Amino acid sequence: MKIGVLALQGDFREHLQALAAIGVEGVPVRLPADLRDVSGLILPGGESTTMRRLIDRWQLRQPILDLASRGAPVFGTCAGMIVLAREIAGEEPILPLLDIRVERNAFGRQLDSFEGELQIPVLGDQAVHGVFIRAPIVEKAGPAVDVLGRLDDGRIIAVRERNILATAFHPELAGETRFHRLVATMASEHDDPGEGSGRRHHPLRRASQPR
């Protein structure tokens, strides 16, 4: 099983390292062809305006939307969360896969960057060390969105809607691999849905794999 990491810009190397640390093969994705045999995709932190431009330049928009619509997990961190948001305050959406509204750089000057211990119950009891760098905040989440974590003041910083997962912070910069494990688990379930899951293997994707 391979997990792609969008490698146009931003901290994709750290995501590739996090995947290596849990024994999962990570594939840098720069062109649509790189998506061909990945079972999931990670959108790194960085600069969402630059990512928007490069996603368009390399014609990655539709192939990523297709991958997500087949049920493969897609995980965005920080700028990656912005890329996935259905609404970005004051801007057009990029890959509107997640029913959230985000505001970029939402923490203002004093809190431009900060770190904190977060409770993310789906990952277990041990706190997650959250690294926030000019992070977005989730202003609104639709009814189908599971809120996975909040700041002490109640603001949402981690969400999941079916196969789409996003955090406003950077687990990949904190040696935190539990989100990557979750993505790998979701990806292997997507590859091999259990008996009775009602989901069939995608005929085109299977057929296109070399034997």
Q: Is 125 exposed, middle or buried (0-12, 13-18, 19+ CB in 10 A)?
A: exposed
Nearest distance from residue 184's CB to ligand GLN, in Å? 22
Q: Are strands 25-29 and 2-6 parallel, antiparallel or unpaired?
A: parallel
Q: Which is nearer to ligand GLN, 7 or 39 (CB)?
A: 7
Residue ranges that bind ligand GLN, judged by CB under 6 A: 45-48, 78-79, 82, 104-105, 133-134
Nearest CA to 52 out of 98, 89, 13, 6 is that of 6
Q: Transcribe 121-175 into DSSP letters.
A: GGG-SSPEEEEEES--EEEEE-TTPEEEEE-TTS-EEEEEETTEEEESS-GGGTT
Q: Which residue(s) pair with 185 in the sheet? A: none
* 172 classed as catalytic: yes
Q: Which is nearer to ligand GLN, 39 or 171 (CB)?
A: 171
Q: Which of 14, 161, 170, 190 is catalytic?
A: 170
Q: Which is nearer to ligand GLN, 84 or 133 (CB)?
A: 133
Nearest distance from residue 60's CB to ligand GLN, in Å? 17
* 78 classed as catalytic: yes
Q: CB-based contacts of 115: which residues, under 8 Å, 6+ apart?
A: 129, 130, 131, 132, 174
Q: Are 36 and 2 in contact (CB under 8 A)?
A: no
**Tokens representing 190?**
């997507």
Q: Which is nearer to ligand GLN, 14 or 34 (CB)?
A: 14
* 103 classed as catalytic: no
The catalytic site residues sit at 78, 170, 172
